[in-house]
Amino acid sequence: MSTKMEEKLEAIHRKINLMGIPQLVLLTKVDEACPLVKEDVRNIYKSGYIKDMMQEVSARLGVPLSCIVPVKNYNEELELDMNCDILLLSAVIQMLRQVDSYFDDLSDRLSNPKTVRTLCFFMVLFAFVWGFVSLLV
């Protein structure tokens, strides 16, 4: 990732932190990054390489390690894989928990419609940027 891209992400990250919006990074294509995981996706949390990648992403993006979720993409498979599904569903559950917590906090704090519109804009922007970053990693 270029230095300019990292600087842009850091600026967005700072603004999002100020707004209290939760952040989650999906580390995709882990099976392509590590032969141990390619052999069996259940090895994802046993892989030293994946752990190192998660730590690097955490350091570069300033996101806690607990907010980086490794997942395997369905890109060539013709059949569903329960182990891959478990990873993906775990990621979705983590996203939903963060969103639920965020909206609980938000409903307690907000009464100004302009603030709600601004937050919604940044949430959509954030989701787009993180989705783009996951394609680069």
Enumerate the domain spans of the chain: 3-136
Q: Which residue has the tokens 């965020």?
A: 102
Detail the DSSP E strand segments found in the chain. Answer: 25-27, 68-70
What is the pTM (predicted TM-score) of this model?
A: 0.69
Residue 66 carries which DSSP code?
G
| Cα–Cα distance measured from residue 125 to residue 131, given in angstroms and rounded to the nearest whole number | 10
pLDDT one digit per residue (tens) for the chain, 137 residues = 788 887 887 888 888 888 778 888 888 899 899 999 988 989 999 999 999 999 998 888 888 899 999 998 887 778 888 988 888 888 888 888 888 888 777 777 666 666 666 667 667 666 666 665 555 44
87 within 8 A of 44, measured Cβ to Cβ: yes
